[in-house]
Homo-oligomer: A and B are copies of this chain.
C-alpha cells in the first residue's frame, strides 16, 4: 500500500487509483467517511496538497463529496465513471455489453460541398473522406452512420478495413489524432424509406437523429458525424451537472 515516487505516474494519480480501487472493492461503503486529508497524507507519506489533488479529481468525477467541517464521503457506487465520455459506436456497445459490428456502405473521398466547407471551415472542393456505415448490435441493424473527416488529417485512411477496426481507434493509433471534445445534437424524426429498408423496420417508425462535431486539443474540427438510430432499440444516456 505504498506509492512509488520513482514511477512515471504522478503521486496524486497513484493515490487516486488506490482510493478508487478501495471503493470499487467495497472497502468503503456509500456515504462512508474517508480518512481526513491530513491522515491520508500521513499514511501515504505525501503532502496534504497532493492528497487534495487526488480528492479534487474524484469529487469532480462524482466519486466523492465533501462537507466542510465534517469530512469527505463516498458517493453511491453506480454513479462514478458514467459522466459524459467521448467514445465511438464500438466502445458504446461494448459498455452496454453488446457485440458491435458494421457494414461499410460507402467509403470514398468527396470534394467539400458548400455545407461541408462551411462546417469544416475549409474552401469548397477540399478533399473530405466520407465513410457511411450500417451499425449492427448483436448482428441486428441499429443505426446508419455517415462520418465526414478532413482527408488532410488522415491521409490514406481508406486503406483500413472499417468493418474490423473502429474509426476512433484508427484515428488515435494511426494518426495520433486525439479527440477531446464533441458537440452533439439529438432529435427525433420519422425514418426515411431508405432508412426503413436498411434498419429493417416498418413504416412509420421513429428514429433518433444524432449530429456530432468532434474536436481535437487545438479545437480543430476533425470529424462530423450524422447518424440515425432505431427508436425502439437505442436509448441515449447523459449525466447533467450543476
Contact = CB atoms under 8 A, between A and B. Distances in A.
A236 B185 contact: yes
A79 interface: yes
B86 A241 contact: yes
B85 A186 contact: no
A186 B65 contact: no
A163 B124 CA distance: 49
A240 B209 CA distance: 16
A242 B84 CA distance: 8
A241 B205 CA distance: 31
A18 B34 CA distance: 35
Given A189-B231, A189-B232, A206-B190, A183 B239 contact: yes
A178 B65 CA distance: 14
Contacts of A188: 188-189, 206-209, 229, 231
Given A189-B206, A219-B65, A184 B237 contact: yes
Count of chain copies = 2
A180 B235 contact: no
A60 interface: yes
A160 interface: no
A76 interface: yes
A41 interface: no
A204 interface: yes
A175 interface: no
A186 B239 CA distance: 11
Contacts of A189: 188, 206, 231-232
A181 B241 contact: yes
Contact of A186 (B62, B186, B190): B186
A85 B240 contact: yes
Contacts of A54: none
